[in-house]
Amino acid sequence: MQIPQIRIESTPGKLGLTILQPQVSMEQRPADLHIEQPEAILTIDKKAATLTIDQTEARAYEGMKTRERFIDDYVRKGRQEWLKGIARRVQEADQLGAIQNKGKPIQAIAKRNSEGPQKEFGLGWIPPANSVKINYDPGYVKTNVETRDPIIEVNQNKPIIDYTPGKVITELVQYPSLEIHFENLKSNGVNYQQSN
C-alpha cells in the first residue's frame, strides 16, 4: 500500500552584504609664521681723551725761549738791576754822608763793588720742579641703546578634511524557494484523495 506523502522542499533566501568603510583624510598645513626683528638703534657719543704737555718753562730754563719771552725777561731783569743800582747808590750816599763817624766807608764801598757775585754750583740743565705742566682730559663715551620689539605675524591654516561616507550594499544572492510535492494523492478540486 502506498502511503500518501506531501514533500516540502524549501531553500532559504541569502542576502549578500558589501560594506564600504568610510574614508577620512585630514591634512593640517603648518601655520604661516613671519617674524621680523627691527635692528636696535645704538647711539655713541664720545669725546676723545686729550693729553697736553707744556714744556715752555722747562725749555725757557735751558735758554730756548721765544723772542717775546727773551725781551720780557731782559726787560724785567734790567728793571730789577736798575732798582738795585738806585738802592745801592742811595745806601752808598748815606754811608758817605756819615763819613764824619768813625769807620772807613770808602774802602768798604770799593771792596763791595770790586767783588763779583758769588758763584753758584749746580747742574744747570735740570729744569726746576713743576716746570713741565701735564694736563690730561680723559674725555667720555656715552652709549644709548634703543631696543625695538619684534614684529610677529601668525596666520593659522584650517585643516583640510576629506570625508567619504561608508556604504552598505545589499543584494539577494539566493532567492528563497518552496516546492511542495504530492505523492500518492490525486487532486480533486481543492481536495485531495488517495490514489489507488
Residue 36's pLDDT band, with cuts at 50, 70 and 90, is very high
- pLDDT tens for 45-72 read 999 999 999 888 888 877 788 888 888 9
Residue 180's pLDDT band, with cuts at 50, 70 and 90, is confident
Nearest-angstrom CA–CA distance, 23 and 30: 23
Mean pLDDT, range 9-34, rounded to an integer: 92
The contacts of residue 139 (CB under 8 Å, 6+ apart) are 46, 47, 48, 49, 50
Q: What percent of the chain has pLDDT over 90?
A: 44
- Indicate if the pLDDT at residue 101 is higher than 80: no
Q: What is the pTM of this model?
A: 0.36
- Indicate if the pLDDT at residue 122 is higher than 70: no
pLDDT of residue 155: 93
The contacts of residue 30 (CB under 8 Å, 6+ apart) are 157
Q: Which of 140, 146, 148, 142 is nearest to 42 (CA)?
A: 146
Nearest-angstrom CA–CA distance, 177 and 12: 7
Beta partners for residue 33, in sequence order: 154
Interstrand relation of 151-155 and 160-164 (parallel, antiparallel or unpaired): unpaired
Nearest-angstrom CA–CA distance, 68 and 39: 59
Q: What percent of the chain has pLDDT over 70?
A: 93
Strand, helix or coil for residue 1: coil
The contacts of residue 37 (CB under 8 Å, 6+ apart) are 148, 150, 151
**What is the DSSP secondary structure assignment for residue 156, as one 8-state letter?**
P
Residue 125's pLDDT band, with cuts at 50, 70 and 90, is low
Q: Kindly report the average pLDDT of the chain as a whole number.
A: 86
pLDDT of residue 145: 94
Q: Which of 130, 96, 132 is nearest to 113 (CA)?
A: 96
